[in-house]
Structures are given as structure tokens and as C-alpha cells.
Amino acid sequence: MPHIVTIETPSLGDRSYLVHDGSVAFVVDPQRDIDRVLAAARSATADGVRIAAVFETHIHNDYVTGGYALARETGATYYVNGADTVDFDRTPIADGETVEVGSMRVRAIATPGHTFTHLSYAVAGDAAEGTATGTSTATAVFTGGSLLFGSTGRPDLLGAAHAEELARHQHASAHRLAAELPDEAQVMPTHGFGSFCSATQSSGDASTIGQEKRANPALTKDETDYVEEILAGLEEFPAYYAHMGPANAAGPLAASLEPPTTADVAQLRRRLEAGEWLVDLRSRTAFAAGHAPGTFNFGIDGQFATYLGWLIPWGTPVTLLGETAEQVAEAQREMVRIGIDRPAAAATGGPTNWTDGELASFPRATFPDLAQVRHHREVVVVDVRRPGEYAESHIDGAVNLPLHDLLRRADDVPAGELWVHCAGGYRASIAASMFAAAGRPVVAIDDQFDNAGTSGLTLTEQK
């Protein structure tokens, strides 16, 4: 029986896998910071395991792969669909081909839908099993962006023109997996744990083919209904995705995680004046209480890389401001996963270490506070959630300015005191920091949107 080690990247909503038989291992969809994979291989058994193969399910759109770098580091064979156009040497693999890794047998299964060339990989614990009869003895299937837990990978990442065709492929691929694999086979997706590569939010933390047959819309709905539902529910995906496919097709090397150059107050001022981004990694509570003017708050305690990569004009130098070197190192690791290879500089401590002037600040509030204020004076409520969230339920009179559109549409926000909210506070703090840097009077609502309806505010809800 293969042993499966899951390597989580919760900030991007993804998983990678190390699979071994006690001595030899293969890896599926590794992230770019391959030191985590190497550490997992060393600790898998008392003597560690040797990584002999690396498999990619597809050319990823939401992160820079570590597959090429891992194969170079370990001498492993690097398997990428032979139909993919890439700029590096790899071992091409195609539908139906099998690879023996130690005592394990890995079979490639064409599962187009997330991309046209997407592959899943079914693994059996004995390389000899099933060969005589042709039956599947798979104990697990690594489905990448195909079959997820209660969902599927989104079909629109290659452009709207291909979305319907890929959605139909996605439906067929799910049915192929369900037909060819045993009900007890574990489903091991790469996406779906908060990743915007998922068509809808996945459910649960583990699943099998049998469970998906009972609950996954791709397997419980007919093709027409499934396609209509998936296409109707698609919303924007992070802007940095546009850079991931080309980076992965080029064969990215492992990024350096060496600490960045330390910047003093004068250097920080010069960088800010030059239009570079100074990103404060502290919690939204700490940032609101006092920060260096002009800095932006992307807390390392949330989906840091997703929102930084989504908002920043690509190529803008980033200086990281953290309370500790560990905070900076964590943010740097997150950045290399999406192709921002090196911070321009870094500084640690607190805002008094990052500016020689007065600190800036803004108030935090709750939805009951907003309800009270609206009885006494006019304020501008800015809802930075995505359009679908806003359509489902929103505060009457709120301006919907999705966070990812803020830099482009900031001038569309009416004059006045801005009360900014999202669903839980993280996105609101990013937006509030940007409004504050632009000189707008702002209050960040740090509260769960579920509390809005019980606070005396009037909501408009989707019928």
C-alpha cells in the first residue's frame, strides 16, 4: 500500500503529494519551494526515501511549479504531458501509459477540462497488480485540477472562448474517472482548498471516488445542467495567473530564499517616493493602530500571496516590513511561489523603525458601529467583496468596489468618510490601507458580514 504524504500550501489553497513505498517515492505537483518536499522525503521513514519521479498533472495557472527544479536536484525523472509545449527537457507521458516507481504502478489518465492536456495519475500499490486482467486496482488517484472534493477545477483559465468546451470536457473526465476507478480509491486533488482554480469551493478534507459519485455535481448532474451551473458561477481569478503558465512552460528553477537586503529609514523613504510598494506584514489590528504613511497592509496571517499578486502592478519592486525576520521569511516564501523572486529589501521591528515622521492610523469598527453612525451622519460604505458575494447579499447603499479593482477604480468612490468592509476583515484592511495611503478618510470594518443583518443595517438579498 503506497504511503501518501500531503504537503499543504493553505495560503494558495493547494496541495502537493509525496508518495512512497518505504524506500522509493514520487511527487505530484510540487510547489516551487522544494525544500519542503525534500524534508518530507527525508522524514518519511527512518532512513528517508529516494525521489525517483515527479509528475505534473497540468501546466499550473495559480503557482510556479517546483517540478523542474526538484527533478534537477534529485535526479528524478520529470513527467509532463507530451502534448504540452515546454522549453525544457522532460519525459513525455500520455494517456494510458504506466510508470513503475519502486513497487508502485502509476497510470496516466487523460482528464481534460481544467486545461486541454490535463492528466490524472492513478496509483496501485503493487506494480504487478491488475496487469493480467486489465482491471483497476488503484488505491488513489491524483486529480490535480480535474475532480475535486465536491467540485471540479474551473474551465475558464485559458480564456472565455474555451470555457464551455472545457466545461464539457471536465464533465466527461469526471465520468471517466468514476467509471474506471474503484469506489474506494482516494481522490487526491491539487486544487480546491481555497484556490481560485476551483470552480466552486470544495467541501471536506478527504474523499473517495464512491463519495464523489454521490455528491459531486459533475457526477450527479447531466452535462447540460453541470455546464450551465459551472459557467454561471465563474468569477474573476487573480491577475497574476496570467504570468504562471508562461513561467511554468519555461522550466522555472528553484528560487533563492536568502534573506533580502535590509533597508534603513532613508532607503525606505526613497523606495516609497519612487513608487515602489512597502508592504506591512503585521496584523490588521496592529496596522490600523499605527503604521508608516504610504505603506500597504497585506497581513501574513491571511491569503497574503493571493491578494498581493492580484493587486500589484506586475514587476513593481516590493519591500517587506515585518515584526520579525521570520515574518519576512514567510512572506518571501509565499512570493516565490507566485513568481515574485526577490523582495527589493526588508525591514523589521515596528513602524517607528520604518519612518522618522508621524505614524498614520485609522479606526476599526463593527457593523453595529456602522448602523449607529448612519443614524447621525452620511458616510460612504464601500464593499470590497467580489461581485457574486455582493449580489447574494449587501448593505443597502453600499458601493461595490471589488478589492482586485481598487487601484483601477479608486476614483469612482464618492467623496466622504469611507467605511470599508469585506466578509471577515482581511480584504477590508488591505483596501483601507490603500485608501489611507491616498489620503482618504477611512474606517476599516473588522467584523464578520454575517453580523451585518443583525446589527440594524438593511440588507438587499438575492431572491
| Whether residue 128 has pLDDT greater than 70 | no
Closest to 25 in 3D by CA, of 7, 13, 11: 7
DSSP at 191? S
Q: Which residue has the higher pLDDT, 170 or 200?
A: 170
The whole-angstrom separation of Cα 15 and Cα 327 is: 22
Look up residue 107 and give its three cell numbers.
497510470
pLDDT of residue 39: 98
Q: In which element (H, E) is residue 6 found?
A: strand 3-9
The 3-state secondary structure of 358-376, one letter per residue: CCECCCEECHHHHHHHHCC
Task: Give the residue-averaged pLDDT of 208-226.
Answer: 97
| Whether residue 121 has pLDDT greater than 90 | yes
What digits encode the pLDDT tens for the residues 415-462? 999 999 999 999 999 999 999 999 999 999 999 999 998 998 999 988
pLDDT of residue 126: 66
pLDDT category, 133, cuts 50, 70, 90?
Answer: very low
The per-residue DSSP string of 372-435 comes to HHHTTS--EEEE-S-HHHHHHEEETT-EE--GGGHHHHGGGSPSS-EEEE-SSSHHHHHHHHHH
pLDDT category, 366, cuts 50, 70, 90?
Answer: very high
Cell 526613497 belongs to residue: 270
Closest to 425 in 3D by CA, of 406, 398, 452: 452
pLDDT of residue 130: 44
Mean confidence (pLDDT) of the chain: 95
